[in-house]
Structure 1
């Protein structure tokens, strides 16, 4: 029962995250990323599991997260050069390292949600 509730929460959260990315310059990427996760979690709430899809998505999301971590003005720079400046200071990410750090953590959250479903399957 807890897994069903968790998947419903993740599903609606990821749909919301996709919605707020509609006006982004790279909406095609982020709406797709969040909607794939939302669909996977929504189906898992009905006990429909697709472990291969979870693995493929997790590999893609983690590879992209690694890219964001090491990119110029990426997460590593945010932690070292910019001293982990607050990610929630403004919803307008005017600094590239803030945007990339937010995207990085979003990818980790999605990967964790899909990993939970992978092991539940």
Structure 2
């Protein structure tokens, strides 16, 4: 995690507004991750790459560098239409996202 985007966000806005933005970003990532998993389950490789790239962009905006990296790897696996690689990268993406959520809230707790 790169804490710089969160520091900038919380320095520029009142805490409640910054927290709303972070919550919306995390909810957006979670929804996109669910969409990617559904696409993998149905074998819709062509419907996975673009949402994975959008997920990466949202993650980068709030400093979730590992999540962004793995989302791009998931996009690549979908473009290659490799079900094994896609399954592995999406599982890694879920783990990275779960860890990132904890890091974001730990950051908020310890930054005050």
**Is the pair's TM-score, using the shorter chain for normalization, greater than 0.5?**
no
Q: What TM-score do the two structures reach when normalised by structure 2? A: 0.40
Q: What TM-score do the two structures reach when normalised by structure 1? A: 0.38
